[in-house]
Structure 1
Amino acid sequence: MRAWSAPELPTAPEGGRRPRVRDTATGRTVDPAEGEETATLYVCGITPYDATHLGHATTYLAFDSLQRAWRDAGLDVEYAQNVTDVDDPLLERAARDGVPWRDLADEQIDLFRSDMEALRILPPDHYVAVTDEVQRIGEAVAYLLESGAAYRVPTSDARDDDIYFDVRQPNSAWSLGRESRLDAETMLRLSAERGGDPDRPGKRDPLDPLLWRAARTGEPSWESTVGEGRPGWHIECSVIAGDRLGAPISVQGGGSDLIFPHHEMSAGHTAALAHAPLARAYVHTGMVAYQGEKISKSLGNLVTVRGLLNDGVDARVIRLALLAHKYSDDWEWFDAERISAERRLARWDEWARSAPQVSSAEATSEGTEAIARIRGRIADDLDTPGAIAAVDAAIAAGVAATPSLVAVIDALLGIRID
């Protein structure tokens, strides 16, 4: 499946630093690509049943910042992202609206592509629809059955058995709780809230996740080596990440609401399939709220990228407003966020337009220091608010807008200054 068009990356002066990021699994700040020349990144993609809201945009912008930092440091990057184009929320929305589920998915994927292009998000090298990987996922589930890491659970409303992963199966590369660091009571609560079925009869452990859902009447299904049906949620990311990038990858990324059960269980599946950890670091973005609640499709309190663009908001303003918050923090969107970003962008544009014609070779020591400060903040756990503050400080101090400084702002923050 095609991704979206890549924005042009300017050529910045040499000297970028390798970024360090906070690993959720250990709580430490690490260089996840240490010793490597190619950094690998997998970010969980959308379930395409509604428009891109600011929570989505914040997540994909955070890992865009990571890609940009890696590239500025001279690393190659290989990036994969999935699209969960068959799942219960998509099917339910399509049924509610009376439209074919594939048509709804295609429409929303196209909208997502256009939003990512507008925000100048670097696209994945591998943009993979789950429906294109069903056979491969079925093969992985068959392997887990054969190895004893999975088991069948009879079901009364399907023609075959559902298949579950055994979270208590011994594995040297993974144990339950290694990634999330949560206690059993919290896991049970989150499993029930986030797509799990801890009360399902016939399971060996309440936390065992679904690997394969046997075909039900009225639901889409595919033939596979384990029967007719469709994949569970966590196994799709495990298989796609492993097949496209290998294991372990440098970073597994997504919103903090994916820490458990999604990333925890995906890591367990990869350990059972590849006998290796899924990732060297698990990096998560905070939640964005609006009107006092986390932005959520289910709650309907959406502020969408498309809505802001349709209201005439410059895409650079949206990007600046989101980058003004630390990627890992929870925060709330107010209209003041947009107003502040508009004023900042106007100052930056005026700075560039009114600057004397100075070449990079004529850069002052203050300009070189400003570049170093911007790079230093990004390298320190993607501190985009600190990098923005460094640009503001340089402008306030009268530092000239040299081509090198403007290029670094574009390369690392993704803001093309007029």
Structure 2
Amino acid sequence: MNEERCVTFAVEGHESCAATKALAAVDEGGHDRIAAVELAEEALASPACAENVRCVWRAVSILVSAGEVASADAHLLRLRDSPVPAIVELLPVLRAQITRWIGDLLGAREQLTPLVGRGRGMAALSLVEIHLLLGDAAKAEQLVEEHDFSAIIAEVPAVRGVLRSVHGLTHLYADRYSEGLEHCLAALRYPAGELASSFLVVQRQGIAALAAMAAGQPDLAASLARQQAASAQAWGGPINLGWSLYVLALVQDDGRQVERLRDAVDLFEFAGCRMHLSEASRELAVRLALSGDPSGARHHFDRASRLAAELHSDMLARRIAVSLDGLGTAVAGPPLTEQERRIAWLARDGLSNKDIAARTALTVRTVEFHLSSVYRKRNLTGRRELLARNVDLS
């Protein structure tokens, strides 16, 4: 960050600042959504707030957290002509945060990467989290090595909670659950003004609940999940509500897991949140398989696999593969024909479709037809999964 931008971010809320009042309405998690949204709208319509970087950041954060994405986007569009250079520079970062919030991690990565290349520290911090959520720990670690995030904290204290969350995710993806939980809980202790900097108050509560569950603290996990559910109900919005139901299904064994996951899937689908939809579909498929519904399980595994392929997410694909391998014959699907088995084995041995056709005296088109049938019956997205997974070809 350059000096001018640092000074602008350091400006405190001015007298009668609507953005500061909006944060007071949030009340550390948000239980006065209507008042917070109205004050955020007032702030962005006020010349005094609209020319203050911190006010814009806070007001847009509140709108997005409350599910008012269209309104936030409209304000960002209007602010493209702002006379304040620092605000113009902030807008792409805010747009990327919105893209991440609706679950389009790949889109957010594409938006943030060129910003990091131009030396924007806030973009780098956000991109670290995106890489972690996409399962690319190596790129996340590389970014951490390349940037001095302690300097960013000194310039923009409001991102301390975000940095704590990033540390928490780093530990969680390395299976260091106790350390991850410590950082996730610390992130939630920061004031609402700092949590709002990332739009993700409700989602961070859910991540902390899942971390507690992984760390072997089910009572704490249930307590955090209930807090998250209260915040989600207060703020509303399909993504917040869906995420709340998803987390509750994973931490509360009360016989309502399938019901909650079905509702979460519907909400994520309505919101167009493909990342969350893939993960919730996978979890629902597992529960359906274990409850004796292989047909329903295959349907949701198919959807989860399709979305993982669309998102080019190796992390999601790995999780789906692990779930399928763990369930074994519970979701084996229809039996393969002798011809399908033979062709699948040849493909697994590394032969191309053309080579398989020559070996079996079939046309390439026929080989493709049989492989497509194998992929469908075994819930595969294509040849890569056939090669990578221990697929039952019996």
Q: TM-score, normalised by structure 2?
A: 0.24
Q: Relative CO higher for 1 or 2, CA cutoff 8 Å, sep ≥ 6? A: 1
Judging by fraction of residues, say which structure has more strand.
1
